[in-house]
Amino acid sequence: METTILIVEDEEKIARFLELELRHEGYQVVKASTGREGLALAESGKADLMVLDVMLPELNGFEVLRRLRRSSDMPVIMLTARDEVMDKVAGLDGGADDYMTKPFAIEELLARIRLVLKKRGTSGTKEEQALTYGELEMNLARHEVRYGGELVALTPREFDLLKVLLENKNIVVSRDTLLEKVCGYDYLGETNVIDVYVRYLRSKLDDVYHVKIIQTVRGVGYCIKD
Ligand code: CA
């Protein structure tokens, strides 16, 4: 299975340049020139990763991302103009995996695409790979979580956290390990961030489906037990 990248960019020159470079790297490419078209293509599930410009006609990149995140955990790399520093913050808070500031070196974008795909486990060979727990199913290739067949919208970090716990079923995973796997070894923010993500996950799963999926092991960490 080939990896397909969706480019959402209204500047034709940039879009064409990206398309040529990505095809050269062996990716399949689909393009959209408006936010609305990009959102529709992203929601169709035909692409594995989206490169999303912020300044777009109809719907801007943030709005596309916000709407997409209601139903999809698809990897997204945002493109922002040089001075849109606040945009970067908003983009990452809004569930983007990474961002690039224009103008950028194509090699850097290619490297970040590879990194995001690797981190998300989309090498193109895991199409049917799934992690399950009762009615809960995580499809790694599609970046989808379903409960009883119903789609559950998770942010990238919530997804990563749940993935680590599912991969280590019946093993208590410490907060430090979770922090490193979910936020990266160089994470310098609040250390209670894992507790916050667990709370979000519980509000999206346990509270909605009246189950108890993630167990707290006091003073140690978290665990999903069979
Ligand atoms: Ca633009």
CA nearest neighbour of 143 among 170, 165, 116: 116
Domain boundaries, the chain: 4-120, 130-223
pLDDT tens digits, one per residue of 90-112: 666 678 888 888 888 899 999 99
CATH 1.10.10.10 fits 130-223, yes or no: yes
Distance 218 CA to ligand 1 centre (A): 49
Counting residues of the chain whose pLDDT is more than 70, the rounded percentage is 90
Distance 15 CA to ligand 1 centre (A): 10
Distance 53 CA to ligand 1 centre (A): 6
Counting residues of the chain whose pLDDT is more than 90, the rounded percentage is 58
Please measure the distance between the N-terminal and C-terminal CA atoms of the chain and give it in whole angstroms: 33
The reply to whether omega before 103 is within 30° of 0 (cis) is yes
Distance 94 CA to ligand 1 centre (A): 19
Distance 56 CA to ligand 1 centre (A): 5
pLDDT tens digits, one per residue of 199-211: 999 999 999 999 9
- Output the CA torsion sign for 101, 107, 110, 112: negative
Distance 102 CA to ligand 1 centre (A): 10
Total-model pTM: 0.55
pLDDT tens digits, one per residue of 102-157: 888 899 999 999 999 988 775 444 445 688 899 999 988 778 999 998 999 999 88
Residue type (1 letter), 182: V
Distance 172 CA to ligand 1 centre (A): 46
Distance 10 CA to ligand 1 centre (A): 5
Q: Are 54 and 87 in contact (CB under 8 A)?
A: yes
Architecture of domain 4-120: 3-Layer(aba) Sandwich (3.40)
Question: What pLDDT, on a 0 to 100 scale, did the predictor assign at position 104?
Answer: 86
Q: Could you give the angle at which helices 193-204 and 156-167 cross, rounded to 10 degrees?
A: 90
Distance 67 CA to ligand 1 centre (A): 19
Distance 44 CA to ligand 1 centre (A): 22
For residue 214, is pLDDT > 80? yes
